[in-house]
Amino acid sequence: MCGIIGYSGILDAKDVLLDGLTSLEYRGYDSCGICIFDENNKFHIIKNIGKVESLRPLVNKEFPPTLSSHSGMGHTRWATHGGVSSENAHPHKAGKVFLIHNGIIENYSELKSQYKLDNKLQSETDTEIVAYVLDYLYNKQNFDPLKSIRELTQLIVGTYSFLICFEDKPGSIYAVRKVSPLVCATSLSGSFLASDLTALIPYTKTFSVVDENTIIEINPTGIISYDLNTLQKTELKQETITWDIDSAKKGGFEHFMMKEIHEQPTAIDNTIRPRITNDGLINFFDDGIEDNSIFKNINKIQIVACGTALHAGTVGARLFQSKILIPIETYIASEYRYQNTLVDDKTLVIIISQSGETVDSLSSLKKAKAENAKTISIVNVKGSSIARESDCVLYTHAGPEIAVASTKAYTVQVALIYLLFCHIAFVRDRVDESFVKKFTKNLYDTIPILQNLLQNKNQIKQVAKYISKSNDAFYIGRSLDYVFSLEGALKLKEVSYIHTEAYAAGELKHGTIALIEDGTPVICVCTQKDVSKKFLSNVEEVKARNAFVILIITEGIEYNKSISDICITIPKINDDFSVFPVAVITQLIAYYVAYAKKLDIDKPRNLAKSVTVE
Ligand code: AGP
């Protein structure tokens, strides 16, 4: 999952590329590089370990104000083949070819031996091998970019978004993709290629998704799309960018993560309102689902996702299986791909993905479709691969989520899966209209609860201060609270680097409680009244071993005050909707722990926002 950008037009290319890479940096940020043509059509490659801010001074040194540039391409890397080094940073040059790549080439070693590249390579990357192969084909095809790119795609196996420049074709940038995401746009400012919309927002309101069966060329006159096989010109389908430039900025917050935590009330409202009628019932007409037969002719539901998206789906599955009364199974996408999950034409497979580009989730979707499942995706990014591939797509309306740690995407995913499952229960006559009306009202009522929570963060800061000094932490809960704990633990570990485990409270005594030592922070989530007594006795067990107990509990649940060192009380709320305030509290805990540790909250080490490699 890397960030890539290409530009050709009237603006200063180095600024467009560096600004674009900065906005794409959340996709990968261990090294970066650009290659640009100067006004004398000379190429310059500048690359560096670290973030884009470290590249800027190098570019400005190579490109004094006296030297202008109007086309080039850039890359910000999340290392796959080859470690983090400037040699492995992109772009890679081979002969007349300059190449940038997002993805993984599976047959790179066969190509390396087939084209006898052993003594030529400067890097450890699969990308450089492809650059050499393309240069060979370019010469073979008498320096015809389209024919050589077409032949290249017939030789390589894997996933890719390539941006390609040829030394003797200054000003033109070519692109071709398979699975890895790529969008393009043209405006009065010039023509663009990018991994996703965030790099395009400052320049245009319309874009096109680069289709897998096309080659794109951008040059100072605009964009040309060619059919990959016939090399004939084709039309590009225009789409509108619904995000505005401010939504991709920090809006006065110190970090995107905190901004996005605060955007949740609005994001939830924007996501549920278009699907709830004035009389409180639910419909998905605007999502193109008018015939509810897709929900009646099924006998099983499978939810497939990764990370936070999977946690969101698991909340919905746990709550609604007993209401819809058919099995609702949840799967880790990277596991689902290689299992026989007994899919048939009566299976509804729901793929949940904020980015809509997670390759394991996309591959799971394709597998489910091949096995005749009906498929629905819940996606936040318009026009993304998963959105385009599924039978129906339900978009969340959270706006761009830039912080690597997913926050608002999680709560809007839960809200939307809640609406979907409530609707399925209704069309299958498992619940009546009064249930649906009460359910949608409860959903709306969570919004002011979150707004109040966001105004009172001092106790959470106190909790975070304690946890920030620890090496280990635990989240425990029962029933839905256990599922909420899974997400809380993921948030905490991925931004604070503190090893955090989520555990079913009733399971602790079967081994893991051995890890509880004096002062070990244990965050105990207690919002499910029907299991609260049992759960609180589990809290007693960890307290008896001198854990530092942080209790998150709903107002009105009786408990022995002496069992918690710090208690965060959630205002009275229906158990089924406590996921939302618990999410905000656990997100804030993670944020403030990382803040206390002075870490890079929006771009945690080793991570990237969209996992488009397997
Ligand atoms: C969440 O905080 C993580 N960044 C990660 O688990 C993420 O949820 C996962 O990679 C799935 O991404 P997606 O929703 O874009 O498919």
Mutate-to-test residue for ligand 1 from 306, 350, 497, 600, highest number of ligand atoms within 8 A of CB: 306
Whether residue 385 has its Cβ less than 6 Å from ligand 1: no
pLDDT per position as a tens digit, 437-478:
999 999 999 999 999 999 889 899 999 999 999 999 999 999
Q: Which pair of tokens denotes residue 611?
A: 């996992």
The predicted structure's pLDDT at residue 241:
84
Q: Residues 365-388: what's their mean pLDDT?
A: 95
Task: In whole angstroms, give the CA distance from residue 295 to residue 317.
Answer: 15
Tell me if residue 174 falls in helix, strand or coil.
strand
Question: What's the mean per-residue pLDDT of the chain?
Answer: 94
Residue 382's pLDDT band, with cuts at 50, 70 and 90, is: confident
From first CA to last CA, the distance across the chain in angstroms is: 10
Q: Relative to the CA of 305, which ligand 1 atom is closest?
A: 16
Q: Using CB atoms within 10 Å of the CB of residue 243, give its burial: 0 to 12 exposed, 13 to 18 middle, 19+ buried.
A: middle
Q: Residues 166-186: what's their mean pLDDT?
A: 95
Whether residue 610 has its Cβ less than 6 Å from ligand 1: yes
Q: Relative to the CA of 413, which ligand 1 atom is closest?
A: 14
The predicted structure's pLDDT at residue 29:
76
Taking the centre of ligand 1 as the mean of its atom positions, its distance from the CA of residue 384, in whole angstroms, is 15
Taking the centre of ligand 1 as the mean of its atom positions, its distance from the CA of residue 476, in whole angstroms, is 22
CA-nearest residue for atom 8, ligand 1, is: 308
Whether residue 587 has its Cβ less than 6 Å from ligand 1: no
Residue 384's pLDDT band, with cuts at 50, 70 and 90, is: confident
Whether residue 358 has its Cβ less than 6 Å from ligand 1: yes
Residue 613's pLDDT band, with cuts at 50, 70 and 90, is: low
CA-nearest residue for atom 7, ligand 1, is: 307
CA-nearest residue for atom 9, ligand 1, is: 307
The predicted structure's pLDDT at residue 250:
80
Greatest mean pLDDT among 283-287, 383-387, 418-422 lies in 418-422
Task: In whole angstroms, give the CA distance from residue 96 to residue 148.
Answer: 12
Taking the centre of ligand 1 as the mean of its atom positions, its distance from the CA of residue 486, in whole angstroms, is 13
Which of 107-116, 317-326, 379-388, 480-489 has the lowest average pLDDT? Answer: 379-388
Task: In whole angstroms, give the CA distance from residue 51 to residue 35.
Answer: 16
Q: Residues 310-330: what's their mean pLDDT?
A: 97
Whether residue 590 has its Cβ less than 6 Å from ligand 1: no
The predicted structure's pLDDT at residue 347:
98
Q: Which residue, 563, 567, 582, 594, is CA-closest to 483?
A: 582
Residue 224's pLDDT band, with cuts at 50, 70 and 90, is: very high
With a cut of 90, say whether residue 607 has pLDDT above it: no
Which of 239-253, 383-397, 427-441, 525-539 has the lowest average pLDDT? Answer: 239-253
Whether residue 308 has its Cβ less than 6 Å from ligand 1: yes
Taking the centre of ligand 1 as the mean of its atom positions, its distance from the CA of residue 309, in whole angstroms, is 6
Residue 112's pLDDT band, with cuts at 50, 70 and 90, is: very high
Taking the centre of ligand 1 as the mean of its atom positions, its distance from the CA of residue 219, in whole angstroms, is 35
The predicted structure's pLDDT at residue 36:
94
Q: Residues 55-61: what's their mean pLDDT?
A: 90
The predicted structure's pLDDT at residue 243:
75
Taking the centre of ligand 1 as the mean of its atom positions, its distance from the CA of residue 406, in whole angstroms, is 6
Angle at 535 between CA 532 and CA 540, to 5 degrees: 125
Which of 32-46, 311-325, 431-445 has the lowest average pLDDT? Answer: 32-46
Which of 51-55, 112-116, 420-424, 540-544 has the lowest average pLDDT? Answer: 51-55
Active-site amino acid positions: 2, 609
Whether residue 404 has its Cβ less than 6 Å from ligand 1: yes
Peptide bond into 265 cis (omega under 30): no
Q: Relative to the CA of 308, which ligand 1 atom is closest?
A: 8
Q: Residues 425-437: what's their mean pLDDT?
A: 98
Whether residue 406 has its Cβ less than 6 Å from ligand 1: yes
Q: What are phi and psi of 398, to 5 degrees?
A: -90, -10
Q: Amino acid identity, residue 586?
A: T
CA-nearest residue for atom 6, ligand 1, is: 307
With a cut of 90, say whether residue 313 has pLDDT above it: yes
Element (H, E) at 489: helix 480-496
Residue 606's pLDDT band, with cuts at 50, 70 and 90, is: confident
